[in-house]
Chains A and B, each alone.
Chain A
Amino acid sequence: MNYQAIRAAVENPLLSAFSGLSPAVPVYFDNITAAPPNTTTEYVRVNVTFGITNEPTLTSSVDNARGAIVIRIFTEKGRGPARNQTLLTTAVNVLETLNDTAKTTSGVFFRVGEINGPTFSSTEAAPHFVGRIDTSYVATVLS
């Protein structure tokens, strides 16, 4: 099992998509300093988690893993949902692209499930407006 390859399969395209925006939006993955120091800077947090590995009934391959992807978009509070939704669209487009990627003979075959959300929220304590989506995934390591 190559967990790093699975993680990279989803993290790399997300990082590329948000880095390619103008201005670029910082993305924070697991085990990285939680957020930028400026309280109003917009940013993205991506949490990729692993559930069951090598579930025997999933496919004929035993080298597979299931898990969850949770993406939180932090934008400035009090300025409406438009910017947050624009960034959410970027994230959803990446997930949809993953599902459109053809299966090859090597690497990681990655499929996400239905996308829940977006849900929007904010708290008095938090200086951001938060948009959140989550989905399941199934990844098979082919090489």
Chain B
Amino acid sequence: MAKRDIKFLVNDIKQATVQAAQEAAVDIMNSLAEAGPVWTGRFSSAWYAVPEGGSPGGARAEGKVYKYDRRNVPATRFKTGTLYRIVNGMDYAAQAQDLDPFDPRKELTTGTIRPDKLRRGQRPTNGLRGELLDGVDSNRATAPLDWYMTYINGGALNRDLGRGAKRGFGTFKPRGFG
């Protein structure tokens, strides 16, 4: 009969929990990058999982929708506390997330998308906040109004959390029991 001190099993469970948090964070950050505005790609690359009281970094890249993997969420991030937040580090994040106040009558600047930058759709000429045109290959330079709250409240956050955690806990292997 295999015998092992329970403290080792607890450690195995802790390790699986960290992996579940990592996987969930990656899924959530990828969904946020995909759902949000992508004008230069910098905002999409600035999502961070930080422990309570921690600060996010800045943009990691530009030119495309950033693709996150577990290297962006080091396991050490989850060892300093039981709570962590997924936040965007750009200084205009609250505006991009439609959390800052805005004047609905103010026309958006259309700007010129540099050819070497991501062509993710268009803002209409004289367009207002929340108005966007379909761009080439369904790209867009902005995002639908309240895209962030839709992600949080519309079920997608729960879905990503569940899928990621399930994948992380799937790695759970109790060692030393036979």
**A interface vs B, CB < 8 Å?**
28, 30, 34-35, 39, 45, 47, 49-52, 55, 58, 66-68, 70, 113, 121-123, 125-128, 130, 132, 134-137
Q: Which residue of A lies closest to B98 (CB)?
A: A70
Please choose the segment from B70-78, B100-108, B165-173 that sits at the chain A interface, where 4 or more of its residues have CB less than 8 A away.
B100-108
Q: What 9 A-B pairs come out closest when comparing CB atoms?
A: A51-B154, A136-B153, A52-B155, A34-B104, A68-B153, A66-B155, A49-B150, A130-B101, A126-B103
A127 to chain B, nearest CB (A): 7
Provide the bound-state CA to CA distance between A67 and B147, in Å. Answer: 10
Contact A34 B128 (CB under 8 A): yes
Provide the bound-state CA to CA distance between A34 and B105, in Å. Answer: 6
**B interface vs A, CB < 8 Å?**
98, 100-106, 128-130, 144-147, 149-156, 159
- Which of A28, A34, A122 contacts B101, CB < 8 Å? A122
Contact B106 A135 (CB under 8 A): no
Cβ–Cβ < 8 Å partners of B103 in chain A: 35, 123, 125-128
B137 to chain A, nearest CB (A): 23
Max chain A CB contacts within 10 Å: which of B101, B104, B105, B130?
A: B101
Provide the bound-state CA to CA distance between A122 and B102, in Å. Answer: 8
- Please count the residue pairs between chain A and chain B whose beta carbons lie under 8 angstroms apart in the complex: 79
Contact A66 B146 (CB under 8 A): no
- Which of A30, A35, A68, A122 contacts B150, CB < 8 Å? A68
Cβ–Cβ < 8 Å partners of B144 in chain A: 49
Chain A's interface: helix, strand, loop or mixed, by majority?
A: strand
Chain B's interface: helix, strand, loop or mixed, by majority?
A: loop
- Which of A28, A39, A51, A123 contacts B151, CB < 8 Å? A51
- Which of A35, A55, A68, A137 contacts B146, CB < 8 Å? A68
Cβ–Cβ < 8 Å partners of A130 in chain B: 101
Given contacts A51-B153, A52-B159, A121-B101, 18 further A-B contacts (CB under 8 A): A35-B104, A45-B104, A47-B130, A47-B146, A49-B144, A51-B150, A51-B154, A51-B155, A51-B156, A52-B155, A68-B146, A68-B149, A68-B150, A68-B152, A68-B153, A70-B149, A123-B103, A134-B146
A63 to chain B, nearest CB (A): 15
B167 to chain A, nearest CB (A): 17
A119 to chain B, nearest CB (A): 8
Contact A68 B128 (CB under 8 A): no
Q: Which residue of A lies closest to B152 (CB)?
A: A68
> When A49-B144, A52-B159, A68-B149 are in contact, do A35 and B105 touch as well, CB less than 8 Å?
yes
Max chain A CB contacts within 10 Å: which of B98, B104, B150?
A: B150
B50 to chain A, nearest CB (A): 21
Q: Which residue of A lies closest to B159 (CB)?
A: A52
Contact B105 A134 (CB under 8 A): no
Cβ–Cβ < 8 Å partners of A132 in chain B: 101
Contact A66 B101 (CB under 8 A): no
Contact A125 B150 (CB under 8 A): no
